[in-house]
Structure 1
């Protein structure tokens, strides 16, 4: 059944404290990232149970809601319900976050919106590489040349893409940011770089560097531009502000970037990439073991974005990236562990969830596999990490690399192939195959604590008899007391049988028991209402008292959780019968069969809970 993400959005906004508590909302490949004014008022368990939500994560000053592949659908509907106040969009959460968390927050906000576009260009490069190796396309022809420059466009003008998202993050005018970025990749500036001539600005020598495919320089430039823009917006007279604020910001920031922030940014980016590449070169096998083992753990905490500048910088500086090659093992190992759950579990719901999550994982989206299955069952997560470490070590031994930006998965395998580097590609295939198979096998061997089955076939205690070849089901009394027809209760919604057919019970005590073996399918937080299903089509509601919702749970004690499978006679709810009467509430218990097509025979009189029958259905 398809999930209604419009309803998911409404439920999310409500549970997160409403529009007034939501300062900002962004999204990445699989997560909605909320900045909340007060996270303490949010019930994480309630949010995680919303249909369409896989799980929640609190990291980097953000309340992250994992949705999966349909995150853009949910984001669209959320944005229809909230008003983001740019002046307070950082929220209190970010102020409490540490420096590392803030940096990761900035990186995720900047890169997440265009990662799929960047990956698409990378896949196109990979496909062209395969076609060239197979002599299936003429590299001198127009078709190849056009597709080739298309595949490189996103990387060539990467500073321009970053400028758009950085402008939003740092609250800079988008078009000012675009002009600053375009200046760094302007043909005239590129011609200066290629010519190698000496260029001075106000007598200061400019270090002519290429900023195509660069990352850090433009981020620094837009960050500083945010202060420059605000300065002129504050001090320029309003009559000239709209014209001269952009002029002064651009005229100051482009030269300043070329003189200072560009070279500094390139140095920082080179240093970060250099540290990882140095460690990798010391032992590719150890690097593969570590990356393959911990990558998905980084994903859990949402800090995996910290590696993005390294991988992008490697493509720009080296023409390839080793980290993505090692990361692939971690992705496929978790998909394999999820397959192991599918093959071993007896729980029908878990079987369905794990099947779909394993397939999604093979295409590079591992959040459903991690949060929906492996982390939920614990041991499969550990098995996946072990398999990923072994697969990563194999990948390191073969020096596997990715030749263009991508997110590891079956669809992106062409990005790992390049003519003349067949051994590396074969090594990648071996590493991901070992990771996938080992993840599944380890999970099946080690096992896990299977969740209680939702299969009602083994439940006993529901009495069914045959009369004239028609099934007749006896429904036991959930509350001891005087039973009478529902038409006589003092709540019109129930008396009219609009809610279903049933009986009213004047309770002799405050104990509500399960009238049959089944599953709790509805449970109101105040404890005044509970619903059950027998798994064979029969569903009932038990409503305690008239208008008792107004007590907000006072006098009620809930003994079960929604989703619990219970036995006939199990205690579901305790309520203070005398308190209800003292507070002036009618304490009648409404006991309803929600299927209005059922024919029932009411069995009136004094009844004992569970021991006697309230009504028969035919």
Structure 2
């Protein structure tokens, strides 16, 4: 892949209609996510043909451009092309005159969830891996049980989870374009020690009221949905209060009214409702798991690449985070990713082995390394599997088999880092030494099955473009063209 990100970014911005067509832009681990003013002016064919672009996903006014692991460098160059003072936030919730439909509502909810959670993933992964490190140090006896070093490490790792509502509120405030400090302050109420103690008493049966209204006992630490819903509502409360407060009192009366209106609504209505929604989603996912067992992991392993293609995989992020925070592990979605990620890596290795195209070979090798070593599968998905089609079928087959094996082995993740070679330690269970054997077996199986299945199914190789030398005779030029056409046929 070309390293000239300035040129790549310029080509991308031109293909999506120029800088004036960009309403907002952000990025996740592998994608540039544009919100456009006019989706119809996008030159999709040109965009997909840009060297360095691995794929394009379009949804409503969003245009997601898959770059790969170096997306942050392309993002930095894109920002240089946008007008000075441009807000680099993802705001796909721009006003729209289109009719409200179930599809648009679903798309809006999904976008809000992804746009809010994506910026928090590094902190969550970092925290979970630190907790995992503390667990390993405790298991190996490097430190005594209850040693202060272990306590501090666990506290460092737990910070992102315990204060997750505050982090979600800050991220959602950017997404919904509302006051971040007010969003953080209201979310902070939910994790305040005095409020936590009050909720604990309410859970034990003690009556808790606010101005005569009963308050539902809810534990907000480690949760996502309540703070997300609360901040969305705050964005409307802030606009309404701004309209009714006199100009001379805005400095003190406006924030005071917002706090007095939003905080009680969050505590008595939005918070409990958000908890019920989050609990309901988790219940559905893990009820399916309890009934189908290993088969549910197998199905998820086969479906995972398709979910990533549509962006639907992020729907599971809050459920995974909350499950790990509450139980210490997650045993359905994360284990299915082992086979899915490494299958894409193994399939890419097979493409690199078989292809005659040097550029495709380099892309496939880089994508394979990303998927197998780091667990970042999108370069392999968009740069190889989806591009050649049959390798994707091989990955779905391998993902199903390896997901089933992971389910039979009872594998569960103690972190939510993308499963790969370096992060496979998250599946090691101190109480079950055989978990090491199972996870290593699943990884080897995923690479081997996808590799040979890809070779068995075959794929249509991308022909190498041959340019004739300038001083070539007409006969030689014709021969070279004939050779190229024959190579394409083969």
TM-score for the superposition, normalised by structure 1? 0.72
Structure 1 residue 413 and structure 2 residue 439: aligned? no
Paired position in structure 1 for 2:67: 67
Cα-to-partner distance string for 1:506-537 (whole Å, 9 max, x where unaligned):
xxxxxxx9688479xxxxxxxxxxxxxxxxxx
Structure 1 residue 127 and structure 2 residue 133: aligned? yes
Structure 1 residue 437 and structure 2 residue 432: aligned? no
Paired position in structure 1 for 2:13: 13
Determine if contact 2:26/2:90 at 8 Å carries over to the other structure.
no
Structure 2 counterpart SS, 1:370: helix
CA shift for structure 1 position 101: 1.6
Name the CA distance, whole Å, in 1 between partners of 2:260 and 2:357: 65
Structure 1 residue 402 and structure 2 residue 392: aligned? no
Paired position in structure 1 for 2:115: 109
Structure 2 counterpart SS, 1:80: helix
TM-score for the superposition, normalised by structure 2? 0.90
Indicate which of 356, 359, 362 corresponds to 2:369.
359
Name the CA distance, whole Å, in 1 between partners of 2:472 and 2:354: 36
Structure 1 counterpart SS, 2:63: strand
Name the structure where strand makes up a greater proportion of residues. Answer: 1
Name the CA distance, whole Å, in 2 between partners of 1:87 and 1:415: 31
Cα-to-partner distance string for 1:385-434 (whole Å, 9 max, x where unaligned):
10000000111112211112322122222222231033344323322321
CA shift for structure 1 position 261: 0.9
CA shift for structure 1 position 46: 1.0
Indicate which of 170, 173, 183 corresponds to 1:177.
183
Determine if contact 1:170/1:226 at 8 Å carries over to the other structure.
yes
Cα-to-partner distance string for 1:576-608 (whole Å, 9 max, x where unaligned):
xxxxxxxxxxxxxxxxxxxxxxxxxxxxxxxxx
Deviates more, 1:305-314 or 1:381-390: 305-314
Q: For residues 92 and 441 of structure 1, do their structure 2 counterparts lie closer, same or farther at Cα, with a shift above 3 Å needed?
A: farther
Q: For residues 565 and 39 of structure 1, do their structure 2 counterparts lie closer, same or farther at Cα, with a shift above 3 Å needed?
A: farther
Structure 2 counterpart SS, 1:51: coil
Show structure 1 runs of 4+ deviating over 6 A: 85-88, 513-516
Determine if contact 1:31/1:68 at 8 Å carries over to the other structure.
yes
- Number of aligned residue pairs: give it: 475
Determine if contact 1:200/1:206 at 8 Å carries over to the other structure.
yes
Determine if contact 1:35/1:90 at 8 Å carries over to the other structure.
no
Structure 2 counterpart SS, 1:400: coil
Deviates more, 1:85-94 or 1:445-454: 85-94
Paired position in structure 2 for 1:349: 359
Deviates more, 1:174-183 or 1:52-61: 52-61
Paired position in structure 2 for 1:207: 216
More RCO (CA 8 Å, sep 6+): 2
CA shift for structure 1 position 342: 1.3
Structure 1 counterpart SS, 2:24: strand
Structure 1 residue 328 and structure 2 residue 328: aligned? no
Paired position in structure 1 for 2:267: 258
Determine if contact 1:284/1:393 at 8 Å carries over to the other structure.
no
Determine if contact 1:59/1:302 at 8 Å carries over to the other structure.
no
Paired position in structure 2 for 1:492: none
Deviates more, 1:204-213 or 1:308-317: 308-317
CA shift for structure 1 position 566: 7.1
Determine if contact 1:284/1:399 at 8 Å carries over to the other structure.
no
Name the CA distance, whole Å, in 1 between partners of 2:261 and 2:354: 64
Q: For residues 255 and 93 of structure 1, do their structure 2 counterparts lie closer, same or farther at Cα, with a shift above 3 Å needed?
A: closer
Structure 2 counterpart SS, 1:108: helix
RMSD, aligned α-carbons:
2.6
Name the structure where helix makes up a greater proportion of residues. Answer: 2
Name the CA distance, whole Å, in 1 between partners of 2:219 and 2:401: 39
CA shift for structure 1 position 320: 1.5
Structure 2 counterpart SS, 1:418: coil
Name the CA distance, whole Å, in 2 between partners of 1:565 and 1:103: 50
Determine if contact 1:190/1:210 at 8 Å carries over to the other structure.
yes
Determine if contact 1:122/1:404 at 8 Å carries over to the other structure.
yes
Paired position in structure 1 for 2:27: 27
CA shift for structure 1 position 142: 2.4
Cα-to-partner distance string for 1:540-585 (whole Å, 9 max, x where unaligned):
xxxxxxxxxxxxxxxxxxxxxxxx9679xxxxxxxxxxxxxxxxxx
Structure 1 counterpart SS, 2:410: coil
Mind listing any 5+ residue stretches in structure 2 that lack a counterpart? none
- Residue pairs, 1:105-254, within 5 angstroms: 105-196=111-202, 197-254=206-263
Name the CA distance, whole Å, in 2 between partners of 1:256 and 1:423: 49
Q: For residues 448 and 37 of structure 1, do their structure 2 counterparts lie closer, same or farther at Cα, with a shift above 3 Å needed?
A: same
Name the CA distance, whole Å, in 2 between partners of 1:26 and 1:87: 6
Determine if contact 1:34/1:63 at 8 Å carries over to the other structure.
yes
